[in-house]
Amino acid sequence: MKIELRPINEENFRPVVGLDVGPGQNTFVATNVFSIAESKVSPYLEPRAVYADDELVGFTLYGRDPETGKYWIVRLMVDAAHQGKGYGRAAVLALIEELRAKQECGEIFLSLVPGNAAAEGVYQSIGFARTGEIEHGEIVMRYVF
């Protein structure tokens, strides 16, 4: 499986906005349209469509916080129709590789809503670990290169 993180553009905007998480998961992640809007008012955030073998399967938002200098995976979602196929894990690995190429990036942070055991399990299996911090009610995790 080949995972690509592609910029949001006129061609894929509507399909990306149309992606949706599974039932009961909407409390774990903001909508893609909200995330894309957030990237317009916080230009350091980079929205990307997640493609697996040229098929749109998900969305991510990441960037370097200008105040702290920390790199964050702010959002990651896989469409309900594509969950359970390893795309979330593959997307995180693709993000890690993209950020690893940035000389000043030695670690990556993310946060997740308490109770999102599936996401936490994926992140832990990749090497993210809880920091012990809670930010905006969410559990903070860190990956160190």
pLDDT score recorded for residue 24: 72
User: pLDDT tens digits for 11-49?
Assistant: 999 999 999 998 778 778 899 999 999 999 999 999 999
Q: In the chain, which residues have pLDDT < 50?
A: none
Count of structural domains within the chain: 1
What residues does 4 pair with on adjacent strands? 51
Q: Which domain holds residue 58?
A: 3-144
pLDDT score recorded for residue 23: 78
pLDDT score recorded for residue 1: 84
Q: How far apart are the first and last CA of the chain?
A: 24
pLDDT score recorded for residue 135: 92
The structure's pTM equals 0.93
Cα–Cα distance, 141 to 143 (Å, whole number): 7
CATH of the domain at 89: 3.40.630.30
